[in-house]
Chains A and B, each alone.
Chain A
Amino acid sequence: MSEPNWTIYVERIRDHRDRDAFAAVFSHFAPRVKGFLIKGGADAAMAEECAQDVMVTLWNKAHLFDPSRASVATWIFTIARNRRIDMLRKERRPEPEDLNWGPDTEPDQADILALQQETDLLKSAVSKLPDAQRDLIEKAYFGDLSHREIAAQTGLPLGTIKSRIRLALDRLRHAMK
């Protein structure tokens, strides 16, 4: 079964406040966010609350999603991370200066497709990692490794997604001038 194109679902949420599209995104991602948080040490009640909040934020901020720079899963990860910091540490997480696209800089379809392909490559690279290395990467994301231990993890299979995102940023900078 091929996976739905979640970007289109988020666009339907953004443009049409489509609750069916939202329910589909919710069914797929909310349990994953909850599972991810539990793996990272959260208790079930907190993970449930956080996952629900993440989904509400997705609805409220659908207009800020830039599919030429992130997949829906990536975007959801960043929302969950921020909510988790807020709930656990009660502190803010400073964000970089916004480079959000607006109506005048709607991202190019070719850029969106290219980013999706890079994301698929990244996904398959991560799923092919030996268990031990995958565990280390998860530990790094859950804060269970020191900086020094993270620095030793040179095996992240990033591929070319960085240069793809860099291209999208260059275009955005150009459009903002």
Chain B
Amino acid sequence: MNDIIQHHPGDDLLLAYSAGTLPEAFNLMIASHVSLCDQCRAAVESFDAVGGVLVEQAGVDAAPMGTDALNAVLDRLSDTPSLTPARAAQRRPGVLPAPLQDYVGGDLEAVRWRPVGMGVRQAILKTSDAASARLLHIPAGAAMPDHGHRGTELTMVLQGAFVDENEYFARGDVECADPSIEHTPIADVGADCICLAVTDAPLRFKSVLPRLLQPFFRI
């Protein structure tokens, strides 16, 4: 299902996702990518295994639990059988991977788009302030508004594709852009492109009008 994904988040991000040290918006990005990419799912679970070893080997520094901790915990346990997951209900095929559907409240039809000019629409997803996440809808063949970066920006394709600096990004592919890169992704002509974009700094658009609008649109 996922051998066609060419562009993956770096191991640094996958490790930080496993460690639990990323801001919420970046966690959402990695969780969404991993939902589509078993290669990165295996990498994340390997980093989890390193975390397991660190817990296991905390033995030398183990901190004794409070004297009555075990009884306190036993009192909280219920004897009813743990529930078998209804797997059918958990698989929600759609354009948006399950973690994104949780934020949107459904698949694409539930997204509340807002126009941001030149045919581009966006929907900001509510995450903690440390970083921001939004869905972008770019008409087929159109350019994303020209922008540079102050922070790290990750963009993942959910539908359609875009081309940036001669590289092709299709569903599941993640482009990582750091502050030194000025780039102009252009949606492939085949279909409108829908992306998830997260950044740890506000985007700065180069044309004057979008910059003036920036405070209103939170972009």
Interface residues of chain A, those whose CB is within 8 Å of chain B, are 14, 17, 19, 22-23, 26-27, 29-36, 38-39, 44, 47-48, 51-52, 55-56, 59-64, 69-71, 73-78, 80-82, 84-85, 89, 91-100, 102-103, 118-119, 122-123, 126-127, 137-138, 140-143, 147-148, 150-151, 156, 158, 161-163, 165-166, 169-170, 173, 176
Q: Which residues of B contact A38 (CB under 8 A)?
A: 61, 63
User: Main SS of chain B's interface residues?
Assistant: helix
Asked whether, in the complex, the Cβ of B54 is within 8 Å of the Cβ of A36, the reply is: yes
Which of B18, B42, B55, B99 lies in contact with A94, CB distance below 8 A?
Answer: B99
A82 to B11, CA, bound (A): 20
With A77-B55, A141-B51, A151-B11 as contacts: A82 and B20 at CB distance below 8 Å: yes
Nearest residue, chain A, Cβ from B25: A94
Instruction: Return A118 CB to nearest CB of chain B, in Å.
Output: 8
Interface residues of chain B, those whose CB is within 8 Å of chain A, are 1, 10-13, 15-16, 18-21, 24, 27-28, 31-32, 34-35, 38-39, 41-59, 61-66, 69-70, 72-74, 76-79, 81-85, 87, 90-92, 97-99, 102-103, 127-128, 152
With A63-B85, A95-B31, A122-B53 as contacts: A170 and B13 at CB distance below 8 Å: no
With A61-B82, A62-B82 as contacts: A73 and B56 at CB distance below 8 Å: yes
Nearest residue, chain B, Cβ from A77: B51
Asked whether, in the complex, the Cβ of A97 is within 8 Å of the Cβ of B35, the reply is: yes
Asked whether, in the complex, the Cβ of A70 is within 8 Å of the Cβ of B45, the reply is: yes
Nearest residue, chain B, Cβ from A170: B38
Instruction: Return A66 CB to nearest CB of chain B, in Å.
Output: 10
A95 to B20, CA, bound (A): 11
Which of B15, B61, B73, B76 lies in contact with A140, CB distance below 8 A?
Answer: B15
Which of A51, A59, A84, A123 lies in contact with B77, CB distance below 8 A?
Answer: A59
Asked whether, in the complex, the Cβ of B52 is within 8 Å of the Cβ of A97, the reply is: no
Q: Which residues of B contact A63 (CB under 8 A)?
A: 82-85
A127 to B85, CA, bound (A): 36
Asked whether, in the complex, the Cβ of A126 is within 8 Å of the Cβ of B42, the reply is: no
Which of A17, A103, A166 lies in contact with B84, CB distance below 8 A?
Answer: A103
Asked whether, in the complex, the Cβ of A14 is within 8 Å of the Cβ of B82, the reply is: yes
Nearest residue, chain B, Cβ from A147: B12
With A77-B51, A77-B55, A147-B12 as contacts: A91 and B76 at CB distance below 8 Å: no
Which of A60, A91, A141 lies in contact with B128, CB distance below 8 A?
Answer: A91
A56 to B53, CA, bound (A): 21
A126 to B70, CA, bound (A): 30
Nearest residue, chain B, Cβ from A80: B55
Q: Which residues of A contact B103 (CB under 8 A)?
A: 94
Asked whether, in the complex, the Cβ of B90 is within 8 Å of the Cβ of A48, the reply is: no
Q: Which residues of A contact B39 (CB under 8 A)?
A: 166
